[in-house]
Structure 1
């Protein structure tokens, strides 16, 4: 029986272009390139199930434009780390709601153990779930959860 492949877009918000170099005490020392390395080395079965693409933008409008393009392109799933927009962006939350693409929200740090403002989440209401606090592994765990969901639709 052939293995189903899913088109998945991984979206990163502001300041996440420097994962691994920006505040490694909070966000870890591994960059986004580690996601591909982990998939190739430790999660080959998961890697084989994905047509994975990446996007990062510091601006809210750029993120929304890319999410809308994902909808037009009929992307099957999203893993999104909205960064600080998690706590401030009704617009990204509204976009995630209307495009209705199954998605998992991820965060490198445990946002609920940090400053009070980071405990407010405006983007996760329509997500399948939120994975936070596992550094770069949050992305791998998010991909695994997303594929599991897509397999069980």
Structure 2
């Protein structure tokens, strides 16, 4: 009964979720996401199919975004990691692929002490941003994509 196919896309250093700086990013890894999506979507969970991709390489992330377009993905939940704050190339890709995208951050980047982390190059090319809720940020982004499609 899948209605929506979403890509969960993670950038650099996010392959170590649950282990990397747990005081900032929490102790849960991607394996917690299906449970969290079920918590948010409830009985509608079976309407969503999630694909996962993580890379430390900017080019591989761009290739995967272009592939998501070719596959007809209904949306992307994108935690670009540090590339959020530095990558014009990812912003350019999001500007043309025409796939709804929600920017995700585990921490509240606006509350971080480094001013650079408060700037997002990809933000102007996404339908929304979810930040500061740990792994639940991903589940909330999935919910936002479902709601986005139901408004159409």
Q: Which bracket does the TM-score occupy, shorter chain normalised?
A: over 0.9
The unaligned stretches of length 5 or more in structure 1 are none
The unaligned stretches of length 5 or more in structure 2 are none
Match of 1:152 in 2: 151
Q: In the TM superposition, what is the alpha-carbon distance from 1:45 to its structure 2 partner?
A: 2.6
Partner SS, residue 33 of structure 1: helix
141-150 vs 31-40, which moves further: 31-40
CA–CA separation in structure 2 for the residues paired with 1:17 and 1:110: 19
Q: Which has the higher helix share?
A: 2
Match of 1:72 in 2: 70
Match of 2:45 in 1: 47
Report the aligned-residue RMSD.
1.4
Q: Name the TM-score, length of structure 1 as normaliser.
A: 0.94
Q: Which runs of 4+ in 1 moved over 4 A?
A: none
* Partners of 2:40 and 2:140 within 8 A in 1: no
Q: Name the TM-score, length of structure 2 as normaliser.
A: 0.94
Match of 2:130 in 1: 131
* Partners of 1:8 and 1:51 within 8 A in 2: yes
CA–CA separation in structure 2 for the residues paired with 1:46 and 1:21: 30
Q: In the TM superposition, what is the alpha-carbon distance from 1:152 to its structure 2 partner?
A: 1.1
